[in-house]
Structures are given as structure tokens and as C-alpha cells.
Amino acid sequence: MFYIFYSIYLLVSFFFVVNGRLSFAPPHDKDQIWLVKIPLVYSIIEKEFPTVDLLEQHEQFVYVCLIPRLYLDKFKHYVLYHHGTYKIIVSNVAEWNLKINKRRQKRSLSAYNNPLDSIYLERFLDYEEQQNWQNLLTKSSLTKNYVKLHPIGFTYENRTLTVVQISTKLNRLSKKKRAGVWIDAGMHAREWLSMGVANYIIIRLLTLKNENKKVKDVLKHFDFYILPMVNPDGYEYSRQTDRLWRRNRSPTIYSDFWIPHKSCSYGVDLNRNFPFEWDTYAGSRSPCQETYRGQLPASEAEVKNIIQFLTNKKEEDNDQFDPHRSMRVYFNLHTYGRYWLLPWSYTKHLKPNDFNSMLNRSAEAIKTMSTTMNNNSSYHNNNQTDEMDCSVGFFAGEERITLDGNEIFGGVIHYLWSLMRDSYRRMPI
């Protein structure tokens, strides 16, 4: 039995009259984005200001925060009281959001018949463009023998969740189970770059499958299952209405009577809706907070569909069951910062049985990534941190798709290659 307690926060809706009609102000009108340096861990700040949204964490005690207009003065005094400093990055988020929408170019992709063309890495694809591109992967003579699409279900707004399988043994009969690598992105709607990086990984796997020895060897032993858009409903909303929208778009318990545009009405943080330790991990019980975990574990369609595909159980209602698929590795892409995170997140006192192996491989992967880009990254576990200067996140433009994609692709491939090296003892060190 679950006991759900909700903390209710007083929100004031700002509205104005246009042509004699009552209209609500746009999302985040006069809210601000600050770069804050304060000698406090963010969990302490969050208790004092639950409606302040942490967008990014750079180095230790350096945060990028979205500050609601009602709390600007109070948060300023709080920062100064704790001997911190702040810098206003965006003075009016609503105006900034409009500028982004106006700058976005609408370049037609219909003339491009090569799904490996760099044009697909030069922009953040919208949902329709993404679906069209994935379909092209299965039709082009360059890629169709290596790509299979798996529509694993639908979102609340009835968009299809499509997994892209990449395999060099797609059309070969085999009784052996193939080790699967799962990569997903876009779980948080505003993290556009993560989806671009997922697409980069798809293109590089297909481009280098016969040209790069390490990639070729990895594809001999692993099939890739990549879901570039976990949260297409939220993503489309972030493109069209609110650039900083994080959650999905399913209604909350407040949706029938709450204030329009406010986060209380719609959305669950999908990253905190998975059943494992759902009641333990620091997901919020309040629909008004960005980290709202939902009313129940796996209450969201996106999460249910992913779980069913990953667990791969032979059930009557599971038309995605594949007796030859066995998931071995899970990569979850975000744009919160350059961190390589290891389980567990819900506790600092327990570790998976193979934690040391994961930590060592991750350290190797980080070195590979740093060498690739001449840019330092960091890896985290819950007991120590190797952290260096970095900045990325929601402000990253389309030019970062290739730059960050190259770095992450190198790390992922090396991690998998090291698994093969140690498991099969056939790979040269």
C-alpha cells in the first residue's frame, strides 16, 4: 500500500487582457536563469526553495538555476547570506524562449535520400523528422540490411516510441542469444542535445561498421537498441511552447482545475518513475516540482513500454518478445553536465556486485573520451568524484551534436570493447 503525501505550494497566475480577452502570460514570464556559486550542496538549497529548478551543475557548488519571478529577491538574499555569488544569464526566460523559436531554421530534409548524411547531425530533429529519418534507415541500400525498427508502444499523446536496432547479423539465422546494448536519450524533454548524440551514435555505428576495427569487433558481439526520443510529447512541447519543459505531458491530479502553464497540471519526471526503489529515491511527491515521480511506480506509458521491451518476457500481450535478445548494458544519455554516472543513485551505502569492474571500465572510457576531444570529463560514483571543468547542457547549440557525439561514442565503444577484451580474451590490449 502506498501513502502519497503532496506538498501544496501557493502559485500566483499572471494574466493580461488582449483585445478584450483574458490571456495568461507565457510560460516563465520574467523568470530568470542564474549562474550561482554558493558553498552548499544543492539538496539543502532545494529544501529551502523547492520551486527553484536546477538546470545544470558545473563544478562543485556551481549551479545554473531557473528562478521563478516571485522568488528572485528572496533567493538573492539567500545566496548572499551564505557568502555566495550569482550572475544573471537570462533576464526573462519567456522572451529568451521566443527568440530561440524565431532563430530556429526550418530546413526541409525531404531531398536527402542518404540517411547517413551529415545534415541529420546539423539540427535538432523534431518528432516527425526523427520518425521519417528512422524509416529511411530501413529503406536505404546503405543501411537497410543492418537496421530494424521496433515500435514498442505509445505515449500519452499517442506518439510512437521507436527503438532502432543495429546489428551486423540481422538477417542471419542463429539459435544463440545476442548480447544487447540499450541506449536511450531525451528522457527529459529540454535535453535536446542528448537526442542529437543518440542519432550521432546511430550514424557512426553504421558508417564505421566495416571501417573501424574496434567498432567492427564490438558489432560482432553486440546488437544495439537505441531509443533516441524517450519523451517525444515533452520534447515537442519544449520546442513549441516552453524550451525548459522537463517532464512528459500526462495530466496530474491537478490538471482539471489547476492554473494553465504551471507544471502542477501536467507531467511526470520519467527518470524517477521506474519501479526500482521508487519509494526510496529522491523523487518528489508533489506534482508542482520538476522531479515529480508520479502517483505510482511505472504509471507512465513511456516507462511501461521501456520496461516491457527490456525485460523481454514471453507474455500474451508482449508482441516485442525476442528469444534471441539478452540485454547486457544500459546507457542513459542526459545533458545535465559531462558526468559518467554509475549505480546506485538511491543510496550511498550499497553497490552492485560488479561495481569495481564498472568503475575501472568507466575510468578507461573517460580517458578515451578526453583523448578524443582534448576535453576533460568526469565520472561519478556515490562515494567519490573525479570532477573537472566542463559546461554543456540546455544552452548547447546544434554544433555540439558532432563534438559531444564524437566524445561519447568513443567512450561507449571503448567500454564495450573492454568488456569483450576481458570476457573473451581475444582482443589485443
Three-class SS string for 60-105? CCEEEEEECHHHHHHHHHHHHHCCCEEEEEECCHHHHHHHHHHHCC
Catalytic residues: 387
Instruction: Write down the pLDDT at residue 175.
Output: 64
Instruction: Write down the pLDDT at residue 318.
Output: 63
Instruction: Write down the pLDDT at residue 5.
Output: 33
319: its cell numbers: 508482441
Instruction: Write down the pLDDT at residue 378.
Output: 42
Helices (H), 312-425: 355-373, 400-424
User: Is 273 buried (19+), middle (13-18) or exposed (0-12) by CB count in 10 A?
Assistant: buried
**Closest by Cα among 76, 85, 27 to 49:** 76
Q: Does the model's pTM come out above 0.75?
A: yes
CA distance 124 to 229: 12
Contacts of 128-134 with C-beta under 8 Å, sequence gap 24+, read 130/195, 130/199, 130/228, 130/229, 130/232, 131/160, 131/162, 133/109, 133/199, 134/162, 134/164
Instruction: Write down the pLDDT at residue 87.
Output: 94
Q: Which stretches of the chain drop beneath a pLDDT of 50?
A: 1-24, 261, 373-392, 426-429
CA distance 357 to 355: 5
111: its cell numbers: 531531398
Instruction: Write down the pLDDT at residue 392.
Output: 44
Instruction: Write down the pLDDT at residue 26.
Output: 66
Instruction: Write down the pLDDT at residue 13.
Output: 34
